[in-house]
Amino acid sequence: MLTLVTGTTGQVGRRFVPRLLAQRRPGEEVRVLVRDAARGERFAELGAEIVVGDLRDAEALGKAVAGADAVVNVAAAFRGVPDEEAWAVNRDAAVELGRAALSSGVRRFVQVSTGLVYGVGRGRPLTEDDEVRPGGAMWGAYAESKAEAERQLLALEGVEVRIGRLPFVYGEGDPHLAQSLRWAATWAATQRLHMGHHADVAQGLLRLLHAPAVGSPVYNIADDAPVTAVDLHQLNGVEVPAELHARTDPDPWFGIMSTERIRRDLGFRPHYPTVWAARDAGAL
């Protein structure tokens, strides 16, 4: 089995690939697509095959998927990019990769997506059966472009598409936890953020990749305990602004996802069920 992974130099990809390589069985190979050969050297040292090319280059995609059995598309344009780049990477390139995979005979395509595709809360944890209705100025086109990629990939016939919807990802030196204060400083004290440690995101994606069968094409991946704005300040060692306590959370269930399905179907259990457990283990 040969697995192609994209987005390998991002925060998720650079931590996922070493775990994928470490869990290889005899006969399993890993190929990574990178734009710069130098940035693929650490993966090559671990045993990965390196293909140099841009995700938005059709010729590079054809070369990358040739002979592959599975694809894990981690690539994403996230916060702070122009909307046109978000659409180009998150939707257009993802769909073209799916089509290239289909043409090449790839059997399984794992698409890394986001819980932000759900949009507003539903007064309870969000489930995979909830309608996708992304929105919100804070994230630009990120959520909408990811939602549209999901829709178009799931419509492909001839390749099995599996989608993992991620929460706010942190851990192992990822700067995301510190960056969270950009927003948490303007939230209500009780406003919550659902999180997932890199070890658990990788675990969930590996289960999606390797499970012989799944009960649904879409799975939420997250930990057990969303944190509040107060928690985020405390985790970063920053004093909690008094004004947080005077604000009201406009949507207490925004981004809070149920993980019942991935637990039931794929046996997922977080290594770090809470961010506090990760902190105590020295895994932040």
Q: 3-class DSSP state for residue 129?
A: coil
Q: How far is CA 146 from the centre of its chain?
A: 10
Q: What is the pLDDT of residue 136?
A: 66
Contacts of 172 (CB under 8 A, 6+ apart): 15, 197, 198, 199, 283, 284
What distance in Å separates the CA atoms of residue 246 and residue 211, rounded to the nearest whole number? 47
Classify the C-alpha dihedral 130-134-136-138 as positive or negative: positive
Q: What is the pLDDT of residue 92?
A: 97
Phi and psi angles of residue 148, each rounded to the nearest 5 degrees, phi first: -70, -35
Contacts of 73 (CB under 8 A, 6+ apart): 6, 7, 94, 97, 98, 109, 110, 111, 112
Going along the chain from its start, the domains and CATH numbers come out as 2-167+197-223+257-271 (3.40.50.720)
Bridge partners of 4, per DSSP, are 31, 71
Per-block mean pLDDT, blocks of 10 residues, the chain (284 long): 96 97 96 95 97 93 97 90 92 97 98 96 97 78 96 98 98 96 96 98 98 97 98 97 96 96 98 98 98
Asked if 255 and 121 touch (Cβ cutoff 8 Å), the reply is yes
Q: What is the pLDDT of residue 139?
A: 67
Q: What is the pLDDT of residue 138?
A: 61
Q: What is the pLDDT of residue 279?
A: 98
- The pTM score is 0.96
